[in-house]
């Protein structure tokens, strides 16, 4: 079995759902259920004996030791993090606690577990660290995309905390031999994305007739990847990635933010037309994010060359599926917006 951390968040939940759909291997899902954790995203796994949810914190070493001793996972896939750049600017403390101290605690627990294994179990154990392209900093308009050897130049408290966690993972490989792999991925989008991030925020605000806040001039560039493609890349690297290596994951879909917002509006105009006129009328330019990185772009050729991974979705197919998903899941959105999703655990599973 595998242990996933942060599996009630956006990417973790997609990963756990895909894992349950594509393998028979059980998953233990450890998540602290912060504001970003939503068990409603995993409702389809209720009663599935191959999914065990544990509410708990990755900074809790005693809990980690207990879980590892009880379940003896063959791999840990580490998603748990504070992930929102704007929140990291308002309050960096949680980012240091979870992303740095939490990753440290998990690495130490993983190391003790790995040392307790023998033979093939020890040789085949993996610690997969899920990280971000933001650790590489910001690119000029014409610079080549980030490769795995690009210097680390994080600019926000979020990206600095993720960079620190990447360095810890690297050091645990070089110093202790812990069998690690790391993936650094570009911006994800897709189902179950918390509507604090650009794409889901634009969809839910548009449907509610609220302003669509675009930071600064809206010409910052991100490289977008459909979340299921990120999940398939992680499965590939977990299965066949070389120990101690990092792999960039991206969709070759560089787009300025304003173009993303226009695309979302055009899809909504087609799929859920508003009698008041195009959703583009709601676009509102607001004060820029402090220290806003201008451009990210991922060179994912190493992953393609060495492991044969390529994304299944283009931006056009992925964004259409995403907008349709939000239209089809008004209850999920309403529960997130009302805060009712936080009652889901007690409603669904009892006290
Ligand atoms: P998210 O914020 O949606 O989910 C994070 C999950 O971690 C939540 O379920 C939360 O409850 C849990 N969590 C937070 N602190 C915890 C703690 N101390 N102990 C246990 N669980 C805790 O994040 P996401 O967008 O799904 O990102 C998942 C991972 O992927 C993160 O490590 C992030 O840095 C990385 N990443 C995200 C993107 C993206 O575009 N979203 C891109 C590249 C990499
Ligand atoms: O690049 C990978 C990263 O992508 C992940 O590591 C992070 O966890 C994830 O949150 C994401 O970070 P970004 O800061 O790029 O994502 P966000 O959706 O917050 O913003 C995307 C772009 O849109 C960014 O340039 C800021 C802008 N933006 C965002 C919001 C929420 C706006 O213009 N208006 C908004 O309201």
Under CATH, which number does the domain 2-188+226-250+292-312 receive? 3.40.50.720
Q: Flag whether the pTM goes above 0.95.
A: yes
| C-alpha dist (Å) from residue 6 to 81, 97, 109, 174, 309 | 7, 15, 16, 26, 24
Distance 98 CA to ligand 1 centre (A): 10
Among 4, 11, 322, the mutation site with the greatest number of ligand 1 atoms within 8 A of its Cβ is 11
Residue 134: active-site member: yes
Q: Please, what's the b/e burial string for 195-218 (b: 16 or more CB within 10 A of its CB; e: otherwise)? A: bebbbbbbbbbbbeeeebbbeeeb
* Distance in angstroms (rounded) separating the CA atoms of residues 274 and 212: 15
- Residue 338 has, within 13 A of its CA and on its CB side, a CA count of 10
* Distance in angstroms (rounded) separating the CA atoms of residues 108 and 111: 5
Strand 221-226, strand 254-256: pairing: antiparallel
Q: Is 186 in the pocket of ligand 2 (CB under 6 A)?
A: yes
Task: Identify the active-site residue in 158, 189, 192, 279.
Answer: 158
**Counting atoms of ligand 2 from 1, which one is nearest the CA of 159?**
6
Neighbour tally for 314: CB within 10 Å:
13
* Beta carbons within 8 Å of 341's beta carbon, 6+ residues apart: 38, 39, 40, 332, 335
Q: Which ligand is nearest to the CA of 53?
A: 1
Q: What is the pLDDT of residue 21?
A: 96
**Cβ < 6 Å from ligand 1: which residues?**
5-6, 8-12, 31-34, 36-37, 57-59, 79-83, 98, 102, 130-132, 162, 185, 187-188, 194
Per-residue pLDDT of the chain (351 residues; tens, 9 = 90+): 999 999 999 999 999 999 999 999 999 999 999 999 999 999 999 999 999 999 999 999 999 999 999 999 999 999 999 999 999 999 999 999 999 999 999 999 999 999 999 999 999 999 999 999 999 999 999 999 999 999 999 999 999 999 999 999 999 999 999 999 999 999 999 999 999 999 999 999 999 999 999 999 999 999 999 999 999 999 999 999 999 999 999 989 999 999 999 999 999 999 999 999 999 999 999 999 999 999 999 999 999 999 999 999 999 999 999 999 999 999 999 999 888 887 766 665 554
């Amino acid at each position: 079995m595998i242990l996933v951390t942060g599996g009630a968040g956006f990417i973790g939940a997609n990963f756990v759902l895909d894992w349950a759909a594509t393998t028979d291997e059980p998953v233990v899902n450890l998540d602290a259920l912060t504001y970003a954790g939503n068990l409603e995203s995993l409702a389809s796994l209720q009663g599935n004996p191959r999914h065990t949810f544990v509410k708990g914190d990755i900074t809790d070493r005693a809990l980690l030791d207990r879980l590892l001793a009880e379940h003896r996972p063959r791999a840990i896939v580490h998603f748990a993090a504070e992930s929102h750049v704007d929140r990291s600017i308002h309050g960096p403390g949680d980012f240091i606690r979870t992303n740095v101290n939490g990753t440290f605690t998990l690495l130490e627990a993983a190391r003790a577990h790995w040392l307790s294994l023998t033979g093939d179990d020890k040789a085949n154990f993996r610690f997969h660290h899920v990280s971000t392209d933001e650790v590489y900093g910001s690119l000029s308009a014409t610079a080549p995309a980030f490769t795995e050897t690009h210097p680390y130049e994080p600019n926000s408290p979020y990206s600095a905390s993720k960079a620190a966690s990447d360095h810890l993972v690297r050091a645990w490989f070089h110093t202790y031999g812990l069998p690690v792999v790391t993936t650094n991925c570009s911006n994800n989008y897709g189902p179950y994305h918390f509507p604090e991030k650009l794409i889901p925020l634009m969809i839910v605000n548009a449907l509610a007739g609220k302003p669509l806040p675009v930071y600064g001039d809206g010409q910052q560039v991100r490289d977008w990847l459909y979340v299921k493609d990120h999940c398939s890349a992680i499965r590939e690297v977990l299965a066949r990635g070389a120990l101690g290596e990092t792999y960039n994951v991206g969709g070759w879909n560089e787009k300025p933010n304003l173009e993303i917002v226009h695309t979302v509006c055009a899809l909504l105009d087609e799929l859920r037309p508003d009698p008041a006129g195009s959703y583009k009328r709601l676009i509102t330019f607001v004060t820029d994010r402090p220290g806003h990185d201008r451009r990210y772009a991922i060179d994912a050729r190493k992953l393609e060359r060495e492991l044969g991974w390529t994304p299944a979705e283009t931006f056009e197919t992925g964004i259409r599926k995403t907008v349709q998903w939000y239209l089809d899941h008004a209850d999920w959105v309403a529960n997130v917006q009302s805060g009712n999703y936080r009652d889901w655990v007690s409603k669904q599973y009892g006290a």
